[in-house]
Amino acid sequence: MRILIVGGGGREHALAWKLSQSPRRPQLWCAPGNAGIASLATCAEIAADNVPVLLEFARKQNIDLVVVGPEAALAAGIVDAFQERGMRIFGPTREAAELESSKSWCKNLFRKHNIPSAGFRAFDRFDDAARYVERTPHPVVVKADGIAAGKGVTVCRTPVESMAAIGAAMKDRVFGKAGDRVLIEEFLAGEEVSVLALTDGQTIAMLDSAQDHKRINDGDEGPNTGGMGAYSPAPVFSEELAARTAREVFVPIVHAMREERRPYKGVLYAGLMLTRSGPKVLEINARFGDPETQPLMMRLRTDLLDLIDAVIDGKLSKADLEWDPDPAVCVVAASGGYPGEIKKGLEIRGLEDAGRVPGVQVFHAGTVLKGERILTAGGRVLGVTAKGATHSAARDAAYRAMSAIQFDGIHYRRDIGLRAIRSPAV
């Protein structure tokens, strides 16, 4: 079995790590990969959204199965292109992935099908958006409609802040065309949780819960990032909430997508706000989360390859997901300056020592191999992930490993997973 993993971040390293443990002993390729993935897979220098070159590569290498990591590839129609040529690929089609790539399309679907989510208005003109925020009670949330690498969302406390956010998206076009349309959403208060489900278009299989840490600094301060750390499970997400989320969120989405003639296969990632009136969807992603996938893969006992096959073949109703009850915690090491401008090419030291801490896996994100040395190559550099008997033990192990790692300007949060320890299950 020859598998090509598309992407090159921490999520793809965790997927490659898990797939490499399949009893079916697959051979792995990855495009573009990173220095960590290179120890498990043959990496090819092809951008994740360069669909024609990926097709050619997959043909030449006789790839049996493609597993897609990032949203950019899905939005570029990678699944459609491979399916048209009769090749096996895991992920939603371009139209189905609009759940993520167009927030307004997604929100309209929610409205039509009564899926719980924040109230919203969409605007294509700056003047209309500006007039609206002037007379709307705050806080509100301003979102770029398209894909903006997790950075297109601003919580605004005052109309002045909203005006600045709208101006940045629509006038300065800091997100390019992703910000030509903006959504202005009702602000929801509560605890956030990431819940992922596999679906074959008919059945859903929910994964265990996880919690992300989106802001750059401790105490959830500073700008939003792609995610600075995650843990699984999230103690606040009780079995009752899980059942409710399946019933009110995932099942209705899968039905709605069938009705819209965009049947959805792959991973549905729901960013949920647990409000006083129940779980509400903040966003849907059409893929595995990063960094949630790192702790999730460390806890998943079931063979991921079997699950992927069940999704593609429409046999998910027969699948059974087994989890290690031990929690896992992932702490992200970022480059200095992230999520703003960063330097690349800095040497990373201490990876071997970090990897020797019991229960630890160091997943690579933005890294590159240069001769014998491993250098930084992106904003999020590593995801130091540990499993332990408790959240606290897993956290301690992850931070012990992190303290062995050095590169110029390294930045990581010290409070990843603390919430799981402080907030008992409800």
Tell whether residue 141 is a contact of ligand AMP (CB under 6 A): yes
**DSSP codes of every residue in 239-255:** HHHHHHHIIIIIHHHHH
Type and span of the H or E element at 81: helix 78-84
Among 26, 36, 92, 150, indicate the residue that binds ligand AMP (CB under 6 A): 150
- Taking the least distance from each CB to ligand GLY, the nearer of 94 and 214 is 214
Does residue 289 interact with ligand GLY by CB under 6 A? yes
Q: Check binding of 214 to ligand AMP (CB under 6 A).
A: yes
Pairing verdict, β 278-285 and 266-275: antiparallel
Site string for ligand GLY, 125-164 (x = CB under 6 A): -------------------------x--------------
First to last CA, the chain: 44
Instruction: Build a one-symbol-per-residue string for 165-194: x at contacts with ligand AMP by CB under 6 A, - elsewhere.
Output: --------------------xxxx---x--
Look at residues 329, 322, 275, 290 and name the one whose alpha carbon lies nearest to residue 303.
322
Q: Closest Cα to residue 37, out of 24, 18, 63, 60?
A: 18
Q: How far is the CB of 285 from ligand GLY (least distance, A)?
A: 5
- Closer to ligand GLY by CB, 104 or 211: give it: 211
Q: Draw the binding track, 220-239, toward ligand AMP (x: CB under 6 A; -: no contact).
A: ----x---------------
Cis peptide before 291 (omega within 30 of 0): yes
Is-contact 395 416, C-beta < 8 A? Answer: yes
CB under 6 A: which stretch of 106-114, 140-148, 160-168, 285-293 binds ligand GLY?
285-293
Are 332 and 9 contacting, i.e. CB atoms less than 8 angstroms apart?
no
For position 271 contacting ligand AMP by CB under 6 A, the verdict is: yes
Q: Which residue is associated with the tokens 């099942």?
A: 251
Q: Does 290 bind ligand GLY (CB under 6 A)?
A: yes
- Of 155, 246, 321, 369, the one binding ligand AMP by CB under 6 A: 155
Answer whether 397's CB lies under 8 Å from 386's CB.
yes
Total residues binding ligand GLY (CB under 6 A): 7
Ramachandran assignment for 67, one of left (phi > 0), alpha (psi -120 to 50 degrees), beta (any other): beta
Bond before 32 cis per omega within 30 degrees: yes
Of ligand GLY, ligand AMP, none, which one does residue 290 interact with (CB within 5 to 8 Å by kind)?
ligand GLY
Question: Interface with ligand AMP includes 282 (CB under 6 A)?
Answer: yes
For 98, the token pair is 């609009």
Query: Residue numbers of the site for ligand GLY (CB under 6 A)?
Result: 150, 212, 227, 285, 289-290, 292
Query: Residue numbers of the site for ligand AMP (CB under 6 A)?
Result: 118, 141, 150, 153, 155, 185-188, 192, 214, 224, 271, 282-283
